[in-house]
A and B are shown apart, each in its own frame.
Chain A
Amino acid sequence: MQALALVHLAVALLAAPLLLSVINKTKAFFGGRQGPPWLQPYRELTKLLHKGVARSRSTSWVFVAGPIVSVAATALALCLVPLGVVPALVAFPGDFVLLAYLLGLARFFTVSAALDTGSAFEGMGASREVQLSALAEPGLLLAFVVLAVATQALSLTGLFARLGTDGGPALVLVFVALLVIFLSENSRIPVDDPNTHLELTMIHEVMILDHSGPDLALIHYAAALKMWLLGTLLIGVPLSPWVSDGFASLLLGVLAMFALAVLVGVIESSTARLRLTRLPQWLLAAFVLTAVALFVVMG
């Protein structure tokens, strides 16, 4: 099983950018376009890695550290996630707390790097980012509590291994709540629009306006890894009760990841962005859903 975990990690590290092309292809399909080629994200990464860097004279070493820390923290967090019943590389009681807080560390440095430029736009993005993540955090942790209470396990691996079908209604709620958090944390519609071209409306994209070259490549890569990471948590909920074989879980899990990407594409093509002032309520809704799930599980 440990070998499968390694395979999962390798697949995640390699295939994460592909999620973006699936989303883009789906959106192109709905828009009646052909869309960029499948390997476009990889091409962009290599292009950026081969470029020089332009750095603002307002910045300090924190600006450079931002992308590095965020990619390191996200990659480490990937060692903690199982894919369905494929175990995580490392599992211990309470590991999901470490997972959530590693993402927090990545955020701390991304936000600091944004503030380091002294730009009003990037300050604005940073301010919105900390608001949304502070509101998403309780929902995420509460979702783990629900799963932990439902399965009587304290590590992510044990939790997904023991997830049964009898959790029924509560698991649906947890799935929906995690989907909301997934969309918010990965800056997708309806929370944030990755394709917007107006700085005033951006959240994640506006924070990285001043990054260039390899720094920008690291940021894009970290974002892709983060999407994979939160995606595995999301698809583990419907996947693990039905698939008990490790190899099948790995295969189906990777397929499900891309299905999730298609779902994101569909959501992005069919819904509009929420008004910024409505976002707290949207995240509160995710929290409420997990709370109801806890109520159902405890009942």
Chain B
Amino acid sequence: MWTEFALMLLVLANLRLLGGSRLLACISTAAFQGVVLGLLPLTVASWPLDPRIVLLSLLSLLIKGWGLPVLLRKALRETSVNREIQPIVSLNLSLLFGLAVLALSGWLGSRLPLPTSASALGAPVAFFTLFTGLFLVVARRQALTQVLGYLVLENGIFLFGVLFAHSTPWIVEVGVLLDLLVGVFVMGITLFHINRAFDAIDSDRLAQLHDLAVQRPSPTEPTE
């Protein structure tokens, strides 16, 4: 029951990320998703609790629910980018796309020969989270939303780990978590520096950094 509820919240958070129009709200949603993910191992595990699972839960709560959002908010504040999401695919279409992917994930989840998990919804939701992350990376313009996309993508992978906990060593989970922390940290710093150099962190403009761009006129055109 509680697992189902948590999974449902994860799905809703994904849809909120797809349909949300404000960066700050999206960061909060990702943080919320982190919190739910952090609590999820506790709902799956059997009593008495394994201390390692509690540790995993606490660690992911700390990193995903607090650390990363703080970092992202700081990046948002300091780079003073446009706080509205700049979608390549419109928000309404993104939502509909989300529904289609949700249906697809349900179908995939029912087809894949997976080890038994804590909930029938587990694998579909994990797939859905993964695809949402990919979609955010592909269909949003700002660099920050791409970081957000990677975060969600990782959430999907983490979810797989939690639900099939007995078949994945927990230490791998912790490793992934730390990797992510470092990754986002690096991206945050990079963004900050790019922002200082170019006054903009649209990923469109990052495209100008590729080799051919050297021959073009200066990429540091003023932002509007």
Contacts and interface: CB of A to CB of B under 8 A. Distances in A.
Contacts of B178: none
B106 A169 contact: no
A169 B8 contact: yes
Given A288-B15, A295-B11, A299-B119, 16 more contacts: A168-B4, A169-B4, A169-B5, A169-B8, A280-B92, A284-B19, A285-B19, A288-B95, A291-B99, A292-B8, A292-B102, A295-B106, A296-B11, A296-B121, A299-B4, A299-B106
Contacts of B7: 296
Contacts of B119: 299
Interface in B1-40: 1, 4-5, 7-8, 11-12, 15, 19
A275 B8 CA distance: 29
Contacts of A288: 15, 19, 95, 98-99
B57 to A, nearest CB: 21
Contacts of A280: 92
A281 B106 CA distance: 24
24 contacts: A168-B1, A168-B5, A169-B4, A169-B5, A169-B8, A281-B19, A281-B92, A284-B19, A284-B92, A284-B95, A285-B19, A285-B95, A288-B19, A288-B98, A291-B99, A292-B8, A292-B12, A292-B15, A292-B102, A295-B102, A295-B103, A295-B121, A295-B124, A299-B124
A298 interface: yes
B42 interface: no
B137 to A, nearest CB: 21
B126 to A, nearest CB: 12
B172 interface: no
Interface residues of A, number: 16
Nearest to B96: A284
Contacts of B19: 281, 284-285, 288
B93 to A, nearest CB: 10
Interface string B116-149: 0001110010000000000000000000000000
A170 B4 CA distance: 9
Contacts of A170: 8
B91 interface: yes
Interface string A231-254: 000000000000000000000000
A289 B106 CA distance: 16
Contacts of A295: 11, 102-103, 106, 121, 124
Contacts of A168: 1, 4-5
A113 interface: no
A168 B121 CA distance: 14
Nearest to A298: B106
Contact of B121 (A173, A281, A289, A299): A299
A280 B90 CA distance: 13
A190 to B, nearest CB: 16
Contacts of A281: 19, 91-92, 95
Most buried by B among A284, A296, A299: A299
B174 to A, nearest CB: 29
A292 B91 contact: no
Contacts of A298: 106
Nearest to B11: A292
Contacts of A289: 12
| Those 7 A-B pairs whose CB atoms lie nearest each other, nearest first | A299-B121, A169-B8, A169-B5, A299-B120, A291-B99, A292-B11, A296-B8
Nearest to A173: B8
Nearest to A176: B12
A13 to B, nearest CB: 38
B116 to A, nearest CB: 15
A299 B119 CA distance: 9
A225 B159 CA distance: 47
Interface in B80-111: 91-92, 95-96, 98-99, 102-103, 106
A295 B96 CA distance: 14
A291 B119 CA distance: 19
Contacts of A169: 4-5, 8
Interface string A262-294: 000000000000000000110011001101100
